[in-house]
Amino acid sequence: MSAEGCLDTDEERTWDAATLAFRLLDQQVERDVQASSGLPLTYYELLVLLSKADHRSLRMSELAEVTHTRPSRISHAVGKLAEGGFVERVHCESDRRSWFAKLTDKGVETLRTAGAEHVRSMRENMFDLLSPEQRAQLLDISRTLLDRLAPGTQDHATRVLRGL
């Protein structure tokens, strides 16, 4: 009647708990960041990436690649961010198909306060709850998963952000 699957009970519990925990974590941090900056978490993350890049700018395609999302999302998102004045589009001289998204001064300013709130929320909802061992374990587990889900990405991401 009840046991529908061929699941190992322990696996199922782990899946359910982990899935729910990280969804709720994302949602909570999203609420906090949005309340402090007005920006959706994923938009805020784009600003963070730009702030770390040389000249505070990245190509649309680089943003899509680093975030593992579709070009159309970046196009929409940068459009909104540009409307809000957080970002400006800069035409690439060497390849005129390409555009840079460049963080504006307003973007930097917004990022300062939003970043503080992001850190606070991150700590409150995650790091303060975990022991140092658990943090290390989580990093290890996440990297293990990423090795399969986004192979060769960690190196690549830093390469992009350091200017190839």
Contact residues toward a second copy (CB under 8 A) are: 2, 4-7, 10-11, 13-15, 17-26, 28, 48, 51-52, 68, 111-112, 115-116, 118-119, 122-123, 125-127, 129-130, 134-135, 137-150, 154
Please report how close the Cβ of residue 64 comes to a second copy at its closest, in angstroms.
Answer: 14
Sheet holding 57-59, edge to edge: 57-59, 99-103, 87-91
Cβ proximity of 41 and 127 under 8 Å: no
Partner in contact with 142, chosen from a second copy, DNA, none, beta carbon below 5 to 8 Å by kind: a second copy
Assess 73 for contact with DNA (CB under 7 A).
yes
Residue nearer to a second copy on the CB measure, 30 or 88: 30
**Among 2, 9, 72, 131, which residue sits at the site for DNA (rule: CB under 7 A)?**
72
Partner in contact with 90, chosen from DNA, a second copy, none, beta carbon below 5 to 8 Å by kind: none
Assess 19 for contact with DNA (CB under 7 A).
no
For the chain, the straight-line distance linking the first and the last C-alpha, in angstroms and rounded, comes to 57
Residue nearer to DNA on the CB measure, 38 or 144: 38
CA 18 distance to own-chain centroid: 19
Q: How many CB atoms lie within 10 A of CB 141?
A: 11
Assess 79 for contact with DNA (CB under 7 A).
yes
Partner in contact with 134, chosen from DNA, a second copy, none, beta carbon below 5 to 8 Å by kind: a second copy
**Helix, strand, coil % over all residues of the chain, rounded to 5:** 70, 10, 20
Which phi and psi (to 5°) does residue 97 adopt? Answer: -80, -20
Closest of 124, 142, 130 to residue 33, by C-alpha: 124
